[in-house]
Amino acid sequence: MNDTITQSSVDADRQARVVHFCEAALSGYLGVDVPDGQLDWDALHAATKRVCQAAAEHEVWVLLGSAHRLTGDRKPHNSVYVIDDRGQVVERYDKRFCTGYDGPEPTLDHVWYTPGNHTAIFEIDGFRASTLICYDYRFPELYRDLKRNGVQLVFQSFHNARRDYRTFHNRNLWKDLVPATMICHAATNHFWISSANSSKKYSLWGSFVVRPDGRLVSKVPVQHPAVLISEIDADLELWDAAQPWRDRAMQGELNSGTVPSDPRSDDRTSY
């Protein structure tokens, strides 16, 4: 927890406006960093308060991966707190797509977490922004919804680390697929994406930032603690290949231009 608070100060000294942490950065990932899933909520709340104080002191926004306690014995949310440069929590996003299966015998994330139910949208220095968490990346519907709501910048927090993926059959798939998918989401929807991953042992890829045209502009080495400083420029003119037809496609018209009324077009079994 101290490392998280110190990081806010380091980034502010380098003139950063937003500090983006990985999934479960403050709380630890239940079932992995916290094997029994038992959090010291008093200690976590005290640490969160200290992060808020550091954000206010250094006048930076913080996207803080953590866990959010629910009522009684309900499982917590896997969350990102959006903390503004006055140290106030102005929004919270709860991971909507938890891995595994829910039900009488839950698996993976559902053993430890309760899924969320809302989209989080907020403004930072004129940018309309949002945040998602890890497995959400598998669902393009979320990104289309953000585009529909005018989002320009997505902060996505991951925790692809801490498991010994050397013996895990999906290791290479995740290593290649996550960055490629995030690049695709950025280019398809023409918005910036900051992808923050844990740098702990067995992490599969280093944190990176993608431009709206799909170009990877900065990244850090795998399994090496690092500070990635990236500039997000709203005025940068970048090619948007889908721009002429994206709105039409999102409304269900899945072609470009005028479709002819032609028997040769309608007959799809001849040549």
**Tens digits of residue pLDDT in 190-242:** 999 999 998 777 778 889 999 999 999 988 877 777 788 899 888 889 999 99
Query: Of 190, 211, 153, which Cα lies nearest the Cα of 20?
Result: 153
Q: For the segment 109-131, what is each residue's pLDDT rounded down to a tens digit?
A: 999 999 999 999 999 999 999 99
Domain ranges of the chain: 2-266
Specify the pLDDT at position 162: 63
User: How many angstroms separate the CA atoms of 93 and 225, rounded?
Assistant: 25
Cα dihedral across residues 187, 126, 93, 66: positive or negative: positive
Q: How confident is the model at residue 15 (pLDDT cuts 50, 70, 90)?
A: confident
Per the listing, tokens 């280093």 go with 206
Specify the pLDDT at position 175: 78
User: How many angstroms separate the CA atoms of 78 and 191, rounded?
Assistant: 24
In the predicted model, is pLDDT for residue 171 greater than 60? Answer: no
Neighbours of 46 (CB within 10 A): 11
- The CATH number that domain 2-266 falls under is 3.60.110.10
Q: For the segment 42-88, what is each residue's pLDDT rounded down to a tens digit?
A: 999 999 999 999 999 999 999 999 999 999 999 999 999 999 999 99
Specify the pLDDT at position 269: 96
Specify the pLDDT at position 61: 98
Exposure string over 254-271, b if 16+ CB within 10 A, otherwise e = eeeeeeeeeeeeeeeeee
User: How many angstroms separate the CA atoms of 139 and 137, rounded?
Assistant: 5
Helix spans in 81-238 (H): 109-112, 140-148, 171-189
Q: For the segment 125-154, what is each residue's pLDDT rounded down to a tens digit?
A: 999 999 999 999 999 999 999 999 999 999
Specify the pLDDT at position 204: 81
Give the pTM: 0.91
DSSP state of 112: H
In the predicted model, is pLDDT for residue 8 greater than 60? Answer: no
